Structure 1
Amino acid sequence: AMRYEENGADAISVLTEKNYFGGRPAHLTTVREAVALPILRKDFIVDERQILESVAIGADAILLIVAALEHGQLRALHDCATANKLSVLVEVHTRKEIGVAIAAGATIIGINNRNLTTLQVDLATAEKLRPEIPDGITIVSESGIRTAADLKRMAALPVDALLVGEGLMRGEISIGS
């Protein structure tokens, strides 16, 4: 995390989900102690308790996945998070989910290039969905950015940020790319 900060990363994403990804909330606390950058808690957030825990462990933002939540639940969790001064990255994968995210009050939308049902990655997802998101919303392209060519392809879109995980972890991409 410190290396990312030193090399110009704008934020750090920390997996805290235990069952599928082997993360823990303590990982976020450790990163918080090491860097001053904003930290996104990546987890399956499904209740307000997790939002309060996110504040307690030092997160600046949380991830809410449209496909994993009922519409009313998405809005309630979004409102709870913003009331607790957390930014919210609302993740979408389809045009319909964009409408749900906007209706829930999303001001930051992440386009997940990975289909959560099939786990297939297609960078064209961001290219197709980007024009569907109105001006004034911060847009993040997520997942599947593994090479410098992928990075350049996504950076060419009018998006505000890229969430890069595996490519950085495996050393296939550097922060300065």
Structure 2
Amino acid sequence: LRKDFIFDLYQVYESRAYGADALLLITAILSQEQLKELVSLSHSLGLRCLVEVHNEGEVERAVLSEAEIIGINNRDLNTFSIDINMTRRLRPLIPQERIAVSESGIKSKRDIEKLGKWGVDAVLVGEALVTAGDVLAKMKELLS
């Protein structure tokens, strides 16, 4: 997953050349036209897109872009506060045939279980692993 600020078609070609399988598209920084073009080009090159959303309007835009994977970021971009309940609020707006990912603020197996009950298909865990003293032990804890 190329986790970067992708906003130009060149970056999609670059991602493929670097060997990425997927790339992150942040709905908040893209116009609807840009989002659709980036998703379309990515798919034509065999790349999958994780289209990140933060609110109801962005979910609608992501769905219209034909994104297969929609990531709900639980972090407020203005305050950087985290509210895992963002996923609970936004998940019902994502069609069942799309893959729903919960991002940010996932720290425990209990969080993952809760997200599963809310219909999430996958989680993106970063900070909990990066700040863990023993990454392998933390992964085992999350996956147990």
Q: Could you tell me the TM-score, scaled by structure 1's length?
A: 0.74
Residue 8 of structure 2 corresponds to 47
SS at match of 1:41: coil
Structure 2 unaligned runs (5+)? none
1:119 aligned onto 2:80: yes
RMSD: 1.4
Give 1:79 deviation, angstroms: 0.8
1:129 aligns with 2:97: no
Distance (Å, rounded) in 1 between the aligned partners of 2:66 and 2:39: 7
Aligned with residue 100 of structure 2, among 139, 143, 147: 139
Q: Specify the code of the residue in structure 1 equivalent to 2:70.
A: I
**Structure 1 unmatched runs, 5+:** 1-39
Give the alignment's TM-score, normalised by structure 2: 0.89
Which stretch of structure 1 is more off in the superposition, 59-68 or 139-148? 139-148
Paired residue for 1:174? 139
Letter matched to residue 94 of structure 2: I
Q: Deviations over 1:74-119 (max 9, x none)?
A: 1111111111110011111111111101111111100010111221
Matched, 1:76 2:41: no
Residues 4-34 of structure 1: CA distance to partner in whole angstroms, max 9, x if unpaired?
A: xxxxxxxxxxxxxxxxxxxxxxxxxxxxxxx
Q: Which residue in the other structure is 1:101 paired with?
A: 62
Amino acid at match of 2:19: G
Letter in 1 for 2:91: R
State the 1:125 CA deviation: 0.1
Question: Percent same amino acid among aligned pairs?
Answer: 46
Please give the secondary structure, in 1, of the residue aligned with 2:89. helix
CA distance in 2, matches of 1:56, 1:83: 14
1:142-170 per-position Cα deviation (integer Å, ceiling 9, x unaligned): 11112333233223321110000111222
